[in-house]
Amino acid sequence: MRRALPFTPLAIGLAFAIGLASGDLQTGWSAALGVAIVVVNLVAYGLSIAWAARISPVAIYAVALGGFGIRLIAFAALMLALTSTSWFSPVAFTAAFMPATIALLAFEMKVFSERKLQSDLWYFRARS
């Protein structure tokens, strides 16, 4: 999470600029909001997993699975609430949200592929 957050202002600014260039001010704000929601989702996930890691592996599993569902419901409710406003552009929001999510997943895969997993640290002596 800490490695991805420094890119947040650039990503939100870029989404706003592309939305502004392709539409109007409302389109820019909707696109920026799409990227901001991806960042909020990342922070919520990171903090909840860090909290669960202090408890137990079962808590990690429960928080990861339950948190995904809760964040998905919150996202759907937010979309419904924002669609009823006059300034919100669902097309610009989605056009920014999807690439931001894909870019974040690619970034996470790159970061995790550089780390050693717990199983990489296991050592088994050969029996003679």
Give the rounded percent of residues in the chain with a pLDDT score beyond 90.
Answer: 41
Q: Model pTM greater than 0.75? A: yes
Report how far residue 17's alpha carbon sits from residue 31's, in angstroms, rounded to the nearest whole number.
9
Indicate the pLDDT class of residue 118, thresholds 50, 70 and 90: low
What's the pLDDT at 104?
87
Residues 76 and 90: beta-carbon distance below 8 Å: no
What's the pLDDT at 75?
87
Q: Pinpoint the alpha helices (H) of the chain.
A: 8-22, 25-53, 57-83, 90-113
What's the pLDDT at 124?
62
Residue 22 to residues 31, 51, 123: CA-CA distances in angstroms? 11, 41, 56
Indicate the pLDDT class of residue 98, thresholds 50, 70 and 90: very high
* pLDDT tens by residue, 76-95: 899 889 999 999 999 999 99
- Please tell me whether residue 122 adopts helix, strand or coil conformation: coil
What's the pLDDT at 17?
95
**Dihedral of CA 41/10/15/20: which sign?**
positive
- The letter for the amino acid at 121 is L
Residue 73, CA atoms < 13 Å, CB-side half-sphere: 6
Residues 97 and 34: beta-carbon distance below 8 Å: yes
